[in-house]
Chains A and B, each alone.
Chain A
Amino acid sequence: MEEREVVVIGAGPAGLSAALEAARAGAHVLLVDENSKPGGQLFKQIHKFFGSHEHRAGVRGIDIGTQLLEEAERLDIEVWLDAEACGIFNTTDVWIVRNKEKSVTVRAKRIILATGAVENSVNFPGWSLPGVMGAGAAQTMINLHRVLPGQKILMVGSGNVGIIVSYQLLQAGADVKAVVEAAPRLGGYGVHTAKVRRAGVPFYTSHTVLEARGTDHVESATIVQLDDKWKPIPGTEKELDVDTICIAAGLTPLVELAFAAGCEPLYSPLLGGMVPWHDRSMATSIPTIYLAGDISGVEEASTAMEEGRMAGLSAAYSLGYVDRETYAVGFDAAEKRMLALRSGMFGQKRRDAKAAIVGHSRG
């Protein structure tokens, strides 16, 4: 059996940051990802990031991704691409299928799960028609693959994902016909919302999509106003000429590996649903398994990178690679930056939800 000190699963912002931090501390790291390219969802994020200077605010996601990859190369981190982690046995053995043909088991002293999250769907008649897709899927198509999935877009959801993708669809040359938001108020940051508004896109609060129609693909959609009990108000239906409906209704953590391994679950509705319990150091109920990024609760790339650093450093420290003081200094700095990202009217709720996970006494 192959052996490595730290195996990181998932080479997105969280996994890359975790791998870098553990390697910097001196651990031998193996980073695996099922995709043929590393970076996770960073390379479709062509907008400038939020936060302060130390969070690399003002830098585009794609450029952050490139920097992380260059650093991984400098540190000579071993990366397996097209490598699907299929299970974890005995808290240490990671079963990996390489290139869809070779089965390998790697015994790890520490495992860091950075598997990310997947987009939610919303059910309505016609929701399974081609042309109805996750907003992130549309973002992948336009920014990564440079193809427009459609010309006339209905965006469902006005949170940051819905608003940023709406703007990027406009940049890509599509016509965003409307943004609907079921809540009475818009959900995203004002600065991006204002950009989409200025472009002339109509916003409909207290509205949802009632139906998508089409034979082999979306050809039109009906939206409807909702009353204060979230019920459609008859007579308020509006027909929209669209060929694509993007759903920006949040994400769900990809927790399968953690739960199959036996990590204790916890329900955190604000952070996307069931997540593995973890402590402040990002360790799960299984001391050899750590978490970083959306698997530990859905946030965004900047928090994922800080969590990655915290997890990578904690894993290296637990293996004896850094002394107590160095660990404390490095960890506290990352945690401080993290808490700054979890402040303000958007961040405080996430901060509270995270505190509830860490503070939850295990049964």
Chain B
Amino acid sequence: MQRIIDHPVLGPLPEVKMVRIIVDGESLMAREGEMIAAALIATGKKYFRKTVKTHEPRGIYCGIGRCTDCVMTVNGIPNVRTCVTPVEEGMVIETQMGYGVWKQEQ
């Protein structure tokens, strides 16, 4: 739950532009282009959603967009796979309860 600043093989963490994201109403900084899941893990967020029936917490499992365990509501759209969706300036990210609620007219 921290960024890897120095790495023996990969070297220092490259400097990139930071973007502002809103996570459950809180304003946080993320590295431009990084996946939402990575940004949230870096901030120490423990779980990304709660299940429909038993409200159990869930986080990442496969990290490559296959298992859909890490889905959250992003810019009003539920069930977005956070491990394969990059952050964007001003993105609104919410911990998803159950199936989530559509907040954006499509």
Contacts and interface: CB of A to CB of B under 8 A. Distances in A.
Contacts of A121: 61
B60 interface: yes
Interface of B: 1-4, 7-10, 13, 34-35, 37-38, 41-42, 46-48, 56-67, 69, 83-84, 86
A309 B62 CA distance: 28
Contacts of A129: 57, 59
Interface in A172-212: 172-173
Closest 10 CB pairs between A and B? A130-B59, A137-B63, A145-B38, A217-B46, A140-B63, A118-B66, A216-B46, A130-B47, A147-B42, A146-B4
Nearest to A149: B41
Nearest to B9: A46
* Most chain B CB within a 10 A radius of its CB, from A36, A243, A254: A36
A46 B57 contact: no
Contacts of B69: 128
Contacts of B42: 147
A129 B59 CA distance: 7
Interface string A261-289: 00000000000000000000000000000
A118 B4 contact: no
A302 interface: no
Interface of A: 34-36, 41, 46, 60, 118-119, 121, 128-134, 136-138, 140-143, 145-151, 171-173, 215-217, 243, 254
Given A141-B41, A145-B37, A146-B13, 6 more contacts: A128-B58, A128-B69, A134-B62, A147-B4, A151-B1, A171-B9
B7 A134 contact: no
Contacts of B57: 129-130, 215-217
Contacts of B8: 171
A48 to B, nearest CB: 10
Contact of B7 (A138, A146, A217): A146
B1 A149 contact: yes
B1 to A, nearest CB: 6
B29 to A, nearest CB: 14
Given A146-B3, A149-B41, A141 B48 contact: no
Contacts of A119: 61-62
A130 B60 CA distance: 7
A128 B49 CA distance: 12
Which of B56, B60, B86 neighbours the largest number of chain A CB atoms within 10 Å of its CB? B60
A244 B48 CA distance: 16
Contacts of A150: 1
A119 B64 CA distance: 10
Given A130-B48, A217-B46, A147 B64 contact: no
Nearest to A40: B64
B2 A147 contact: yes
Taking each of B13, B37, B58, which has the highest tally of chain A beta carbons within 10 Å of its own beta carbon? B37
Given A128-B56, A130-B57, A147 B62 contact: no
B10 A46 contact: yes
A343 B13 CA distance: 39
Nearest to A150: B1
A228 to B, nearest CB: 31
A172 B9 CA distance: 9
Nearest to B42: A147
B60 A133 contact: yes
A34 B61 contact: no
Contacts of A216: 46-47, 57
B13 to A, nearest CB: 5
A36 B63 CA distance: 14
Contact of A130 (B3, B58, B67): B58
A154 to B, nearest CB: 15
Nearest to A148: B2
Contact of A254 (B9, B37, B66): B66
A136 B63 contact: yes
A98 to B, nearest CB: 15
